[in-house]
Amino acid sequence: MLGFMLVILGARLLEKLHLDDVVGAWPVHGLCGVWGGIATGVFTEHALGPQIIGSIAIPAWAFLTMFALFHVLKAAGVLRVSRGEEILGLDMAEHGEVEGETQFEWREEYRLHVPEMDKEHENLFRIIGEIVDAMKSGLGKGAIEDAFQGLLDYTVNHFQDEEELMERYSYPHLEEHKKIHGQFKQKVLAYKEELFQKDSFDAKDFQNFISGWLINHILEVDRQYGEFINAKLHESDNV
């Protein structure tokens, strides 16, 4: 009974403190674990003293070693997922789908607050969504090739628009960004070669390819110029 109450109260406490523990590991294993150790000393013939020492020493050891380990992981940059994956959500980033929503539906969180680019990104999502649907519904090879070519043409124009915009605002990382666009174009061309040789199309494979590149690009790399331009616009508003 006490264990049950500890789980409920512990989970509520975490919520109040805004600490993320979705599976309730701390209330179940931490609080109930400590209580289980002590209860063994209280209700059985085991000596209470060593039970209390063990119940304190084990969590303390776990806390200290994990504290050190997570700091090392943080320093190595592998503790958190990327910012883009965070915005997308792990269900989307890892599994490509959350209930009733595919990865390629436009969401408000994707907005950079640079209206002309948001509009183009929204169009990109729509075109990609149409290709995924075409692949899933088994549309003919010609139709999918046309749709893919449409995506490629739109992407090339979009990159050009983006680069012009960055230039207009003297964005300091323009050259790096251009390089990334160039790499993406090469990848898409290689993927196109591969895709057009096939007779059947795998929507999942296409989704993985596109999300690995384009979506992450919009959510991570583009976000940086979005923030830069917005900061510049605010600066000129305040002058």
Which of these ranges, 65-73, 90-98, 103-111, 214-222, lies near Fe ion under the rule CB under 5 A? Answer: 214-222
Q: Which is nearer to Fe ion, 103 or 155 (CB)?
A: 155
118: contact with Fe ion by CB under 5 A: no
Asked whether the beta carbons of 155 and 213 are under 8 A apart, the reply is no
**C-alpha pair distances (Å), 217 with each of 88, 94, 127, 142, 146:** 12, 16, 16, 28, 24
- Rounded least distance, CB 218 to Fe ion, Å: 7
Asked whether the beta carbons of 32 and 4 are under 8 A apart, the reply is no
Structure tokens at 222: 């583009």
- Residues 127-186, interacting with Fe ion (CB under 5 A): 162
On the 0-12 / 13-18 / 19+ scale of CB atoms within 10 A, 31 is buried
Which of these ranges, 51-59, 81-89, 128-136, 219-227, lies near Fe ion under the rule CB under 5 A? Answer: 219-227
222: contact with Fe ion by CB under 5 A: yes
- Rounded least distance, CB 212 to Fe ion, Å: 15
Q: Which is nearer to Fe ion, 164 or 235 (CB)?
A: 164
Q: Which residue has the tokens 């616009």?
A: 233
Structure tokens at 48: 């209470």
- Rounded least distance, CB 89 to Fe ion, Å: 22
Closest residue to bound Fe ion by CB:
222
Q: Which is nearer to Fe ion, 120 or 222 (CB)?
A: 222
How many residues touch Fe ion under the rule CB under 5 A: the total is 2
Q: Which is nearer to Fe ion, 85 or 222 (CB)?
A: 222
**C-alpha pair distances (Å), 56 with each of 30, 36, 90:** 10, 12, 35
Binding site for Fe ion (CB under 5 A): 162, 222
